[in-house]
Amino acid sequence: MLGAAEQLKFNLASPSSIANALSRASANFPAESFLASSNGYQVGVGESVKKLIKTAIGPLRAPELVESIAVSSILHLFDGWSYLAQALRATFRNDDAIARHLAYYGELRASLSILASYGVGIFSTTHVVIDAAEDVHKFSKEGTHQVAWSALEAWGKTPYSGALIGAEIQAFGHSMADWIMVFQGTSTPSLIGADWVENWGIDLSAFSSDRATRNEVSYGVDFDHSKACHTPRTIEPWLRELWLTSEPGAASFELLDRYLVRSTLEGIYNTKFKDQLHTPEQSTADLREKMLDACIAIGQDSDDIVDFFIRDVCKEDLLVMNLARARSAVQDPLQYQEVMSRTYLLLRLATASVGSLLREASLSSNDLAFWWVKTSEASGLWDSGLGLTTAEEVKDLWADTLLSLDELSDCIAGNPTDADSWFFFNTNIPNDLEILSRMEKVALWGIS
C-alpha cells in the first residue's frame, strides 16, 4: 500500500498528459523511430531519471521523459505478452519453475504498462508521476517490485480504472458499463478495478512483500525430480481456451469479455438483489427475470444471451478464470499454471489500457507498423515473405493458430499411449507447438 505522501503524488497522475506526449512522439514514426534521436531517455533511463530528480525540490519540466514513458507503455505491453509466450515454451518442456518465473515477470510488465499509460513511470528505485501540466514529480524510492504492486493497487481503486474497464470490456456488442447500468440502474464499474487487481495481481502482492520467497522461486534449485507435472493431455483444454478467448474478431477478447461481464453481473446480483430466503430455483428464476429485463433495456432481447448470463449454457467459468482465483502455494508443482492465468488476465487489462491510450492520442496500431513488423519478423513470429504490414493482415495468423490447436487435439486423440509425452509432441508437431507458444500475436490483435 502506498504511504500517505506517495498517495498524494500518485493522485496527480494524468493519463491525458501521456496521450498528448504519445501524440507528440508520433512525429518520429515516419522516420521509423519511437523517439527523436536527441531524446536522452532511451538507454539507461533509470540512471537518467535518477540524475534528473536527484537535487529537485519541486516538479520538473522534462517533455522528453514524458514521451519516453508514453512509448514505454506500448513496449512493456508487448514484452509482457512475450514473457507469457516464453512461459508457454517452458510449459511445453515441463520446466515449471522457469514458466512460473517468466509468467511473474509478464505480470510485472503488465503492471508497468498500465501505470505508464496512467502517468506513472517506474524506474528501478526512482519513480515519477506526470501531472496534468506534464510536470514530473518524484514519487517513490521503493524497489521496482514493491512500488509496481503498490501503485497498481492504487490504480485499481481510481475512478479511471473503473471507467477504462467499463468502456473496454464488452459483451454482445455493449460495454461493461452499459450492462451494469441496465442491470442495476447505476454505473459502478469503479468497484471492479480494485477487485480484479487484487485477485489477478496476487503474485505481485506476495512477491513484493516477500523477497525471500521471490528469490527462492526465481533462483533456487528444485530437488524434486518426481513431482507432478502437466502433460500435453492435461494442458490442452486450458491452452485451447487461452487461444480461443484471444481470437481476433470484431472486438478484441470477445469470448473472454463475455465471461468477465457475466461474472461481474452475478456478483452485483448476489450482493445487491439476491434474497437469502429464496431457494436456488427461486434465485435462478429471479436472476433470469432481471437479466431478461436488462437485455431488453440494452436492445438485446435474446434468449441465447439470457441463457448464457444465467448459466443455462456454458455453465462453468473459463478455466483461466478459475485458475486465476486459485491460491496454491508457490511450492506446488502445478501452481505455475495459476500464475500464467493471472498473467493473461492482467495483460488483458494492460492491452485495454494501451488500446485506450492509442485512441486518445488519435493513433492506431497501423501507425506502429514500423516497429511491430520489424520486431515480429526478426523474432520469427512470421516470415518476412508474408508481407504483413497492417493490423488486419496480422489477424490472418489466427487461421494457423486454429489449425495448430486442432493438430494438437488430434495428436492427443490419435496417440493415447503417447499423450503424456512431451518428447513425442515436440518431435512430431514442433511447428504447431511453436505457433501455440507465440502469444505476442495477441498483443497485436488486442490493440488493433
SS3 203: helix
Q: What is the pLDDT of residue 212?
A: 62
Q: Please state, as a whole number, how many other Cβ atoms lie within 10 Å of the Cβ of residue 290.
A: 20
The alpha carbon of residue 424 and the mean position of all alpha carbons in its chain are separated, in whole angstroms, by: 32
The alpha carbon of residue 209 and the mean position of all alpha carbons in its chain are separated, in whole angstroms, by: 22
SS3 408: helix
Q: Nearest 5°: phi and psi at 60?
A: -120, 155
Q: What is the pLDDT of residue 167?
A: 93
CA 93 to CA 430: how far, in whole Å?
A: 11
Q: Rg for the chain (alpha carbons), in Å?
A: 22
CA 103 to CA 80: how far, in whole Å?
A: 8
Burial 86-109, CB ≥16 within 10 A → b, else e: bbbbbbbeebbbbbbbbbbbbbbb
CA 229 to CA 235: how far, in whole Å?
A: 10
CA 326 to CA 401: how far, in whole Å?
A: 28
DSSP letters of 93-153?
TT-HHHHHHHHHHHHHHHHHHHHHHHTEEEETTEEEEE-TT-EEEEEE-S-HHHHHHHHHH
DSSP letters of 42-73?
SSSHHHHHHHHHTT-SS-EE-HHHHHHHHHHH
Q: What is the pLDDT of residue 190?
A: 64
429 grid coordinates: 508437431
How high is the mean pLDDT in each 10-residue block of the chain (448 residues)? 92 98 98 97 94 84 97 98 98 93 95 98 93 94 89 93 93 94 80 84 74 65 78 97 94 94 92 89 91 93 91 96 92 91 97 98 97 96 93 95 98 97 97 98 95
Find the angle CA(220)-CA(221)-CA(225) to the nearest 5 degrees: 145
Q: What is the pLDDT of residue 114?
A: 97
Q: What is the pLDDT of residue 432?
A: 98
Helix (H) or strand (E) segment spanning residue 175: strand 174-175
Pairing outcome for strands 126-130 and 170-171: unpaired
Whether residue 218 contacts residue 203, with contact meaning beta carbons closer than 8 Å, is answered with no
Whether residue 176 contacts residue 163, with contact meaning beta carbons closer than 8 Å, is answered with no
Whether residue 156 contacts residue 193, with contact meaning beta carbons closer than 8 Å, is answered with yes
Q: What is the pLDDT of residue 218?
A: 66
Q: What is the pLDDT of residue 223?
A: 76
CA 405 to CA 411: how far, in whole Å?
A: 10
Q: What is the pLDDT of residue 140?
A: 85
User: Taking the model in full, what pTM does it have?
Assistant: 0.95
Q: What is the pLDDT of residue 55?
A: 74
